[in-house]
Amino acid sequence: MADSTPPASLPVVIIGAGPVGLAAGAHLSERGLDFVIVEAGDVPAAAVRAWSHIQLFSPWEYNVDPAARRLLETEGWESPEPSALPTGEDLLKQYLQPLSEHPSIAPHIRCGAQVIAIARLGLDRMRTVGRADAPFVVRLADGEEILAGSVIDASGTWTQPNVLGANGLPAHGEADASALVDHALPDVLGTDREHYAGHHTVVVGAGHSAANTLLALAKLADAAPGTRITWAIRGRDASSSYGGGGDDELPARGALGSGLQMLVDTGRVALAANFRTHTVRTPEGPHGGIQLVSTAADGSEQVLTADRVIAATGFRPDFGIAAELRLELDPIMEAPRALAPLIDPNQHSCGTVLPHGFKELAHPEPGYYAVGMKSYGRAPTFLMVTGYEQVRSIAAALAGDLEAAQSVELQLPETGVCSATAGAEALALRLGLTAEQHGELLHATAKHLGSSPTAAQAVLTAATELGIDHGVALQLAAYTADLFDAPQAPGCG
């Protein structure tokens, strides 16, 4: 194409065929705008497939984009139960795969197309004259270049995990120990089981990924003798990781924290607080393994020795592909400057993020938008429903419907969004218990509360009495302990 090709006649290039990228395609399709979705993986939603074993803490009603729903329903698609909690695999099979195969979406997807750079045609970042009228050039790893009128970057952060080093830099020796360090959400009960069963694992991190992994390791420990778990956090105590318990807006998210607190209180997980990784060692000799070293200001060392480490330390965006574009990023969170105060994790949880759309996501480079997880930079407060509203607003703006683009709303989870009992019943079935066993566990736990020092001990006593796996019982109790009306019991989450 010649340099004179007007951007308005070119397609919108969407980078990433994950939940938000596919939703962007659905909104653009409804608006009658041409688009191309380029996906680095061999199949759509490749990142979701990597954590398909994980259960989401948001129910289906917050995981399906409205425009995508409308498209799917034209093909006879039936929506899952709104209050049910999907796993990543459920999200793939019941939603993302049908959406990627929809006739309005499928012809626009190109897999195995990794974007390595974005620029303006014929202009580097220094050139201003004619910039807004020049098409974008999206360069792929194989050298092909796609001209675009606008770019929606939904490439996410999955391939950019944070390091172990407490100061944001890789710990000394971290690279040399990479074979013994896994990143967030390994499938410890499935494909990765052999790495952890019968071994000692240190989980580093204080967020939801760490909590998910610790709960899974505790379940593995029940089945595999010799499995040991240590949890290393930078804080002096783990209270912030336990979250809001029964006050949390999402039952499953609160259950993570409540269940994790039970594991620590009962000694099933050893807590290493005030641990800031400075050095990673891989000792030679018959025992080998890996050592994490935390160095205090006075030079003293705290050392954790294990067989394997899971770095559940979060993710960060990579804006390297946009180095020739004019971006304005918050210096702390690496999110668009106007968006940063609305999502600041020091002020907001994912349920209190303020409404935002194309205006807050805009950069000095007109026509480029980073959306989804990538738009949040290093903030962990993202929910898919937030990303869906982002791309709805952007699609409206690109179509010239500024009234719709500016009218942004977020219907985020509030306390009581799901029934605690219904959520626990769904989880019980997923964990292999019948509804009858679930009811018996509730009844037996209530019976033992009066004679037990803590709610956790009452749960474990009831589980032993009924022959129910302790890890399963702890997770279920985190959903429903508020029904026991005991101050020491964890909330429904």
Per-residue pLDDT band at 287 (split at 50, 70, 90): low
- Strand pairing category for 150-153 and 145-148: unpaired
pLDDT score at 331: 94
Centre a 10 Å sphere on the Cβ of residue 457 and count the other Cβ atoms it contains: 17
Bigger pLDDT: 153 vs 448: 153
Q: What's the rounded mean pLDDT across residues 363-373?
A: 97
Model confidence at 480: pLDDT above 60: no
The yes or no reply on domain 175-236+273-311 and CATH 3.50.50.60 is: yes
pLDDT classification of 207: cutoffs 50, 70, 90: confident
* pLDDT computed for residue 126 by the predictor: 95
**Which one, of 184, 105, 90, lies nearest residue 380 by Cα?**
184
Structure tokens at 155: 């490439």
Q: What is the 3-state secondary structure (H, E, C) of 134-161?
A: CCEEEEECCCCEEEECEEEECCCCCCCE
The two tokens of residue 238 are 């783990």
pLDDT band at 429 (very low <50, low <70, confident <90, very high): low
Count other C-beta atoms under 10 Å from residue 45's C-beta: 24
Strand, helix or coil for residue 33: coil
Write down the pLDDT at residue 10.
Answer: 96
pLDDT band at 4 (very low <50, low <70, confident <90, very high): low
**What is the predicted pLDDT for the residue at 198?**
97
394 Cβ neighbours under 8 A, 6+ residues apart? 24, 27, 152, 357, 358, 361, 369, 371, 405
Cα dihedral across residues 332, 336, 341, 347: positive or negative: negative
Read off the pLDDT band of 472 (50, 70, 90). confident
Amino acid at 91: L
Backbone angles phi, psi at 22, to 5 degrees: -65, -35
- The answer to whether 394 and 371 have CB atoms below 8 angstroms apart is yes
Average pLDDT over residues 99-118: 98
Question: Which is more confidently placed, 227 or 287?
Answer: 227
Q: What is the CA radius of gyration of the chain?
A: 24
Give me the pLDDT at residue 337, please. 95
pLDDT at 176: 94
**What pLDDT shows up at residue 286?**
55
pLDDT at 426 over 60: no
Are the beta carbons of 471 and 219 closer than 8 angstroms? Answer: yes
In 3D space, the residue among 311, 313, 309 whose CA is nearest the CA of residue 180 turns out to be 309
Residue-level pLDDT at 240:
58
The per-residue pLDDT for range 222-271, each reduced to its tens digit, is 899 999 999 999 888 766 555 544 444 444 444 444 567 777 878 889 99
SS3 444: helix
401 — pLDDT class (breaks 50, 70, 90): very high
Q: What is the DSSP letter of 247?
A: G
The helix or strand, by DSSP H or E, that contains position 12, with its residue range, turns out to be strand 12-15
Whether 361 and 153 have beta carbons less than 8 Å apart is answered as no
Decide if pLDDT at 107 tops 90: yes
Q: Which residue has the higher pLDDT, 282 or 412?
A: 282
- The full length of the chain comes to 493
Is pLDDT above 50 for 157? yes
Candidate from 20-29, 105-114, 197-206, 210-219 with smallest mean pLDDT: 210-219
DSSP letter, residue 272: E
Residue 117 or residue 354, greater confidence: 117
pLDDT digits (tens, 9 = 90+) for 291-340: 999 998 888 899 999 999 999 998 999 999 999 999 999 999 999 999 99
Which of 58-62, 201-205, 421-425 has the largest mean confidence? 201-205
Sequence spans of domains, the chain: 7-159+315-406, 175-236+273-311, 420-484
* Residue 165 pLDDT level (bands cut at 50, 70, 90): very high
Higher pLDDT, 396 or 410: 396
- Residue 446 binned pLDDT confidence (cut-offs 50, 70, 90): low
Nearest-CA neighbor of 420 among 85, 64, 54, 52?
85
The Cα 368–Cα 398 span in angstroms is 11
Asked whether residue 425 carries a pLDDT value surpassing 80, the answer given is: no
Q: What is the pLDDT of residue 247?
A: 44
pLDDT in tens, 45-79: 999 999 999 888 788 988 999 999 999 999 999 99
The mean per-residue pLDDT over the stretch 360-389 comes to 94
Quick one: average pLDDT of 188-202? 96
pLDDT for the residue numbered 14: 98
In contact, 380 and 332? CB cutoff 8 Å: no
pLDDT > 50? residue 491: no
Tokens of 377: 């930079």
Residue range 387-400: mean pLDDT, rounded: 97
DSSP 484: G
Architecture of domain 7-159+315-406: 3-Layer(bba) Sandwich (3.50)
pLDDT value, residue 262? 74
Q: Is 362 a residue whose pLDDT tops 50?
A: yes
What is the secondary structure of 83-119 as a DSSP string?
T---BHHHHIIIIIHHHHTSTTTGGGEEES--EEEEE
Q: What is the C-alpha to C-alpha distance for residues 67 and 55, in angstroms, rounded to an integer?
A: 24
Which tokens hold the place of 455?
A: 């709610």
Which tokens go with 127? 């050139």
d(CA 261, CA 474): 10
- Burial classification of residue 72, based on how many CB atoms lie within 10 Å of its CB (0-12 exposed, 13-18 middle, 19 or more buried): buried
The percent of residues in the chain predicted with pLDDT above 90, rounded, is: 59
Using the predicted structure, report yes or no on whether residue 490 has a pLDDT greater than 60. Answer: no
Q: Do domains 7-159+315-406 and 175-236+273-311 have the same CATH topology?
A: yes
DSSP string, 305-370: EESEEEE---B----GGGTTS---B-TTT-SBTTTHHHH-TTT--TTSPPP--HHHH--SSTTEEE
pLDDT reading at 458 higher than 80: no
- Percent of the chain residues topping a pLDDT of 70: 83
- Position 456 pLDDT exceeds 80: no
